[in-house]
Amino acid sequence: MSQQPSAGQEILNLEFPQSLALFDRYADAQKAVDFLSDEQFPVQNVMIVGTDLRQVERVTGRLTWPKVLGGGVLSGMWMGLFVGLILSMFEGGATLGLIGMAVGAGAVFGFIWAGLGYSMSRGRRDFTSVSQVVATKYELLVEHRAFGEAQALLSKMDGVRGALVTAGEPKRVQARPNPFEGMYGQKIDASKPVASSDSAQPAAGSSADSPGADDTSAK
């Protein structure tokens, strides 16, 4: 049973998109779409697609015990403050004392939790980092009905001609030799010499060892 595409997926899809231009930066692709919009082009037929995705991890610093425990204490205190404020809404008195107890309990819990987590890693990851998936190329796709108009308009924009993709350019495929050429009804090139079956095998009756030759010599 096939799944029907959701409404969000239908918005992100074009009927028959064609590649119009290829950019190295998203800002350049966005600038090209803005130019088409200024030229009264129906930009609802345009789509920006990030290709050649890569995951980039930026190392931000070294991870040590003081940093780990300090971060655990701070996060625990914030959590305790949040819980204390919620509990204080249902308590008539001693609000500050309740919040203080919650903050202290959160600090202790965060200290223990961070220490256990870092000790279990056993030094396999002693650094902090930030990860992000980025695209190295940004392709501008246009609906086939409006491709010619978009290409004509975008060719007038400064600095974009080199990014335009040539439409309708056939792909060149290197021909490979056919190992079955000349066999099973395959077409044979007339420029290539073809070995005859008569020349490969001696004709019947021409050999000296044939029975006819022996009878002639005996007579």
pLDDT tens figures, 131-179: 999 999 999 999 999 999 999 999 999 877 668 886 544 333 344 455 5
Rounded to the nearest integer, the mean pLDDT of the chain is 79
Q: What is the pTM of this model?
A: 0.55
More confident residue, 65 or 164: 65
Q: Give the class (CATH, top level) of 14-57+132-163.
A: alpha beta
Residue 6: its pLDDT value, please?
A: 56
Question: Sorting pLDDT into bands at 50, 70 and 90, what band is 194?
Answer: very low
Residue 118: its pLDDT value, please?
A: 93
Least confident piece of the model among 63-72, 79-88, 171-180: 171-180
| Residue 93 half-sphere exposure toward CB, CA atoms < 13 A | 0
- Domain boundary assignment for the chain: 14-57+132-163, 64-125
